[in-house]
A and B are shown apart, each in its own frame.
Chain A
Amino acid sequence: MSISVRDITKDFGHFKALKSVDLEIPDGQLVALLGPSGSGKTTLLRIIAGLEFADSGTVEFNGSDITDKTTRERHVGFVFQHYALFRHMTVFENIAFGLRVRPRRLRPSNDEIKKKVNELLGLIQLRNQAGRYPSQLSGGQRQRVALARALAVEPSVLLLDEPFGALDAKVRQELRRWLRQLHDEVHITSVFVTHDQEEALELADIVAVMNEGRIEQVGSPDEVYNHPATSFVYNFLGNVNLFHGRVDDGKPLIGDSPSGHLLFVRPHLLEIARQPNGATHFRATTKHINVAGPLVKVEAITEWGAPIHVEMSQERFQDLKLLKGETVFIIPKDIAVFKQNGAA
């Protein structure tokens, strides 16, 4: 089912959570709402679910206006950040809940419910835990039960609020892959909220980057990462070095001469060399070198006194034999230029 969000505005007292937000979500896509806390992403998700109501604007499912419909009438599956499992029910009863509360004429028989729940228990690999209570499960298991519970009612869309936020890094990785796999099998239109750019880029078909109640950019992970529309998006998706500078004949020039342009360079797009090689360059003194991990991270101070971060491969580092406190040449390989107010 496709989702259209049109001109949605929402205030909480004086705080403007959403400022005229538009978003089109095509059928069957896995969409990430990505942004820092307070950017309005969870509010937008809750408005789509009908748990919150917009001050103005409309929400459409498959082209029909559902703005005034209650949560119950929208048939959405919602997965909460802290799972919100029914603590007094077993795993089995949690998953069966949505089927048991149906009006009598729509309610499946006990045997059908049993079959359906067992199917879902198999899907989330928790067949042996059906009789346990939520408090007896680990975080990752709880989140899988929450997902199965939402899927049991065969919702038209699946909405997930920071689904992996409360889990440790390893479990998060696993669940992320599992969710991607699940989505490829079930093909249900899904929207998830996250503040983790890596998660959004890895998992989603479409990423909507949000900031201060607005959507900054919508696009595929490749588009938003490699062609960021605003300085915020560039800044938020990955580490950056920020320089002030100017543009001469369409050529960005880094230097301490503020003239209305912001220049961004990602740490891995700065090259360290002992010779200037004729390219655009500046001088810097290395201050700290971290060799742990797949990339070597170098912290340096530029000739005008600003700190910069450079990343390079272990091989390149071995070749250079870089030392702490050494003065080297820095060659930017790709510079992204934005006007001071943020637009490209």
Chain B
Amino acid sequence: MAATVSLRLERPASGASAHATSEPAVVRWILIAVAVSFLGIFLFFPLAVVFITAFQKGVFFYLQAFQDPDTLSAVRLTPAIAVPLNLVFGVAAAWVIGKFDFVGKSLLITLIDLPFSVSPVVAGLVFVLLFGLQGLAGPWLIAHDIRIIFAVPGIVLATIFVTFPFVARELLPLIQAQGNEEEEAALTLGASGWQTFFRVTLPNVKWALICGVILCNARAMGEFGAVSVVSGDIRGLTNTMPLHIEILYNDYQFVAAFAVASLLALLALMTLLVKSVIEWKTGQHLATQATDDKALSQ
């Protein structure tokens, strides 16, 4: 009996100050209130507005927005080329930086981060200056009847530029942390360079790679600035979803605009959901390993 009593005394009933690092109740409530209202104002409220406005005139009007051929082509133009290209580039860059030492390595890392720091509009303008009518390669391109600016290739180029850090950035810390030993082991066991890459390097970064691709895809779908500069907003031809939303909004077609916006938001939410599931699964995998380790050491 005595033992139970003393145990209860050691643990306060509320569990309020169970840890040395916990704060007084007032501070905790203020911090929680700040965080919740911040999330509410900047995340939940806008998201709610998008869906409410989209369904303002009923489901019929909502669905009608997607009957428009311009909308359909805009949905389809979501850059499916940019993501695979960045996947290859990201893996190659992360592999080179993570596994080897060479002159100019830190410069390469800085360059990979460049699209994060440069305004997307500037990125778009760069391509206009390069491939546009008055651009460096402009006359040559016209002479050979190749259209890049105000055409799909320009959109793809701009999207690639804006999204290329995602895969590399996601992979790099992991590849650096894992080091070279497993690859060296594979080589001593007689594996070729390709076998080592596909059987050892790639499987080890599988989940980080999927995360990177998902983020890259989300950005590629949603990119506005750079694409807006190079696309020329030709309906049914060079309109991406974000651009189409702007056009609809400027035409006072609020329901249609918000309907497409809700689709884009939905895609973004699904992307995040998939990412969370993957992270949760890898976390769970690690957790089971940890408990197994514990069980073994006991």
Task: Determine if A97 is an interface residue (Cβ-Cβ < 8 Å).
Answer: yes
- Docked pose: A49 CA to B184 CA in angstroms: 10
- Report 16 cross-chain contacts, Cβ distance below 8 Å, ordered by A residue: A71-B184, A71-B188, A72-B192, A75-B190, A78-B188, A80-B185, A84-B184, A84-B185, A87-B204, A88-B204, A101-B190, A101-B192, A102-B190, A133-B289, A136-B296, A152-B189
User: Does A101 lie within 8 Å of B204, measured CB to CB?
Assistant: no
User: Does B188 lie within 8 Å of A76, measured CB to CB?
Assistant: yes
* Interface magnitude class on chain A: 20 to 34
Task: Determine if B126 is an interface residue (Cβ-Cβ < 8 Å).
Answer: no
Residue of B nearest to A132 (CB): B292
Decide: A72 near B293, CB < 8 A? Known: A87-B204, A101-B199: no
User: Does B192 lie within 8 Å of A78, measured CB to CB?
Assistant: no
Closest 9 pairs (CB-CB, A-B): A98-B189, A84-B181, A78-B188, A101-B191, A84-B185, A135-B289, A136-B292, A88-B203, A71-B187
Which residues of chain A are within 8 angstroms of B182 by Cβ–Cβ distance?
84-87
Interface of B is mostly: helix
Which residues of chain B are within 8 angstroms of A78 by Cβ–Cβ distance?
184-185, 188
Task: Determine if A137 is an interface residue (Cβ-Cβ < 8 Å).
Answer: yes
- Docked pose: A136 CA to B297 CA in angstroms: 10
User: Does B189 lie within 8 Å of A49, measured CB to CB?
Assistant: no
Residue of B nearest to A155 (CB): B188
User: Does A137 lie within 8 Å of B181, measured CB to CB?
Assistant: no
Task: Determine if A77 is an interface residue (Cβ-Cβ < 8 Å).
Answer: yes
Task: Determine if A266 is an interface residue (Cβ-Cβ < 8 Å).
Answer: no
Task: Determine if A144 is an interface residue (Cβ-Cβ < 8 Å).
Answer: no
Which of B188, B192, B206, B293 has the most A CB atoms < 10 Å from its CB?
A: B188
* Known A85-B182, A152-B189; further 20 A-B contacts with Cβ < 8 A: A51-B188, A72-B188, A72-B191, A78-B184, A78-B185, A80-B184, A82-B181, A87-B204, A97-B186, A97-B199, A101-B186, A101-B191, A101-B192, A101-B195, A135-B292, A136-B296, A138-B297, A150-B188, A153-B189, A153-B190
- Interface residues of chain B, those whose CB is within 8 Å of chain A, are 181-182, 184-192, 195, 199-200, 203-204, 206, 289, 292-293, 296-297
Which residues of chain A are within 8 angstroms of B200 by Cβ–Cβ distance?
86
Decide: A86 near B195, CB < 8 A? Known: A98-B190, A135-B289, A138-B297: no
Contact with B along A170-188 (1 / 0, CB 8 A): 0000000000000000000
User: Does B184 lie within 8 Å of A72, measured CB to CB?
Assistant: no
Residue of A nearest to B193 (CB): A72
- Docked pose: A101 CA to B188 CA in angstroms: 11
Residue of A nearest to B291 (CB): A136
Tell me the smallest distance from the CB of A254 to a CB of chain B, in Å.
49
User: Does A72 lie within 8 Å of B190, measured CB to CB?
Assistant: yes
Tell me the smallest distance from the CB of A74 to a CB of chain B, in Å.
8
- Docked pose: A150 CA to B187 CA in angstroms: 11
Tell me the smallest distance from the CB of B182 to a CB of chain A, in Å.
5
- Docked pose: A138 CA to B293 CA in angstroms: 7
User: Does A77 lie within 8 Å of B188, measured CB to CB?
Assistant: yes
Tell me the smallest distance from the CB of B220 to a CB of chain A, in Å.
29
- Docked pose: A102 CA to B192 CA in angstroms: 9
Which residues of chain B are within 8 angstroms of A98 by Cβ–Cβ distance?
189-191
Chain A 110-164 residues near chain B, CB threshold 8 A: 133, 135-138, 146, 149-150, 152-153
